Amino acid sequence: MLLRIGEVTMKFRVGLIGCGRISPMHLQSIRMIENCNIAAVCDIREYVAKYTAEKYKCNYYTNYLDMIDKEALDTIHICTPHYLHHNMAIEAAKRGIHVITEKPMAINYNDAVDMVNTCNKNNVTLSVLFQNRYNRGVQVIKNEIQNGNLGRVLSGRVIVTWNRSDEYYLKSDWKGTWDKEGGGVVIDQAIHSLDLVRYIVEKKAIKVDASIRNRNHKKVQVEDCAEGIIYFEDGFNLSFYTMNYFTSDMPIDITIHCERGTASIIGDEGYIDYVDGRKMSIKLLDSDRIDYGSNVKKYWGYCHYTLIKKVYENIVLGKEVEVNGEDCLKTQKIINSIYESGLSGHSVFLNK
């Protein structure tokens, strides 16, 4: 299946930095868009860059600045450790290259703001891989809430209990470190679910009160457990509990209690129980599934392709990208406030 956007007069030369575990989700998606041509990939591990380049029939580099200086790229996909997203996005934006970065935007809020400002100044797009926003259940629940069918949103809860073993951390030279990953279960795993609730309810977060602990991963520095409450405008609040020492990746469990019903997201599926007795269940369809290739880890959510396709469509059509940097800054602020609250033991106000 190849997607053709418009008359295909607009052909993008695409580059990707970081040929690790998530990169096939990007490269397979790009390959399915007729308007895109994978020009080059980059990884500091030369054998990984070379292997990926052979597979996708493109050039390869071990230094991303060389790649962006030599390849006349239109877009760059950033799939590197968290601490590198900021600099890589800035360097690309300054050269007029559109940026599509993996989550999180950055390790800290000020760097994320810098990314948004630099992209705006250079008139390029910045998009962040919060692909789960496009899950079918999420879209239906957001619509039901935003068009008023569920009445006022009252409170929400998020439960994310996944498995990230000692081996997972020890195999990586950046996971489990404050300076390179920027935290643990909150910034890396629970970030998607926290982003979803904010995206669905479209409310402004005003205060965070959270605690973070490392309970069961003594070989790494960062938190593997967190809980807290996020207060939003209009009285809505969201409680969360997350840890990554469960023995299996359980489906994420999100509930949003509203005046006229309760909406839930369990893994890839959505459910709504209306107070008048009606029920809706939004199942994943076979046609939703995308083949990202064999030997690719199965991540929660199947919408990398949808998000990436929409970014290119919107650039071609001259429209604002939906999952844009400005919007994603709001989630970044919540994530950094959870850390500030957890480390200080105090509530954190977000509008300061």
Ligand X SMILES: NC(=O)c1ccc[n+]([C@@H]2O[C@H](COP(=O)([O-])OP(=O)(O)OC[C@H]3O[C@@H](n4cnc5c(N)ncnc54)[C@H](O)[C@@H]3O)[C@@H](O)[C@H]2O)c1
Q: Does 158 bind ligand X (CB under 6 A)?
A: no
Number of residues engaging ligand X in binding (CB under 6 A):
25
Please state, in angstroms and as integers, the Cα–Cα distance from residue 216 to each residue in 91, 117, 158, 160, 327, following that order: 38, 39, 21, 16, 34
Output the six-digit token pair for 186: 């909150």
Q: Does 17 bind ligand X (CB under 6 A)?
A: yes
3, 10, 13, 20: which one binds ligand X (CB under 6 A): 20
Q: Does 302 bind ligand X (CB under 6 A)?
A: no
76, 116, 129, 335: which one binds ligand X (CB under 6 A): 129
Q: Which residue is nearest to ligand X (CB)?
A: 20
Q: Does 188 bind ligand X (CB under 6 A)?
A: yes
Output the six-digit token pair for 286: 């076979």
Q: Which burial class, exposed, middle or buried, applies to 298 when counting CB atoms under 10 A from its CB (0-12, 13-18, 19+)? A: exposed
Give me the residues paired with residue 239 across strands.
157, 229
Q: Which of 313, 334, 299 is nearest to 100 (CA)?
A: 313
Q: Which of 116, 97, 139, 110 is nearest to 328 (CA)?
A: 116
77, 103, 133, 203: which one binds ligand X (CB under 6 A): 103
Q: Which burial class, exposed, middle or buried, applies to 100 when counting CB atoms under 10 A from its CB (0-12, 13-18, 19+)? A: buried
Q: Does 64 bind ligand X (CB under 6 A)?
A: yes
Contact between 50 and 62 (Cβ < 8 Å): no
- In the complex, least distance from residue 86 CB atom to ligand X, rounded to whole angstroms: 12
- Cβ nearer to ligand X, comparing 29 with 237: 29
Q: Does 268 bind ligand X (CB under 6 A)?
A: no
59, 117, 172, 324: which one binds ligand X (CB under 6 A): 172
- Cβ nearer to ligand X, comparing 116 with 129: 129
- Cβ nearer to ligand X, comparing 239 with 324: 324
Q: Tell me whether strands 153-161 and 75-78 are parallel, antiparallel or unpaired.
A: unpaired
Q: Does 48 bind ligand X (CB under 6 A)?
A: yes
Q: Tell me whether strands 75-78 and 12-17 are parallel, antiparallel or unpaired.
A: parallel
- In the complex, least distance from residue 301 CB atom to ligand X, rounded to whole angstroms: 6
- Cβ nearer to ligand X, comparing 19 with 272: 19
Sheet of strand 205-213, all strands in order from the earlier edge strand to the far edge: 279-282, 269-274, 261-266, 253-258, 153-161, 237-243, 225-232, 205-213, 348-349
Contact between 257 and 212 (Cβ < 8 Å): no
What's the distance, CA 38 to chain centroid?
22
- In the complex, least distance from residue 67 CB atom to ligand X, rounded to whole angstroms: 9
d(CA 58, CA 43): 13
Q: How many residues in total does the chain contain?
A: 352
Site for ligand X in 72-91 (CB under 6 A): 79-82, 84
- Cβ nearer to ligand X, comparing 175 with 333: 175
Residue 199: count other Cβ atoms within 10 Å of its Cβ.
18
Site for ligand X in 28-47 (CB under 6 A): 42-45
Q: Does 329 bind ligand X (CB under 6 A)?
A: no
- Cβ nearer to ligand X, comparing 190 with 212: 190
11, 21, 121, 289: which one binds ligand X (CB under 6 A): 21
Longest Cα–Cα distance of the chain, Å, equals: 62
> Which range, of 20-28, 32-40, 198-206, 246-254, touches ligand X by CB under 6 A?
20-28
- In the complex, least distance from residue 22 CB atom to ligand X, rounded to whole angstroms: 4
- In the complex, least distance from residue 138 CB atom to ligand X, rounded to whole angstroms: 14
- In the complex, least distance from residue 260 CB atom to ligand X, rounded to whole angstroms: 32
d(CA 322, CA 259): 28
* Sequence-ordered list of residues with C-beta below 8 angstroms from that of 343, at least 6 positions apart, any chain: 212
Q: Where do contacts with ligand X occur on this chain (CB under 6 A)?
A: 17-22, 42-45, 48, 64, 79-82, 84, 102-103, 129, 131, 172, 188, 299, 301
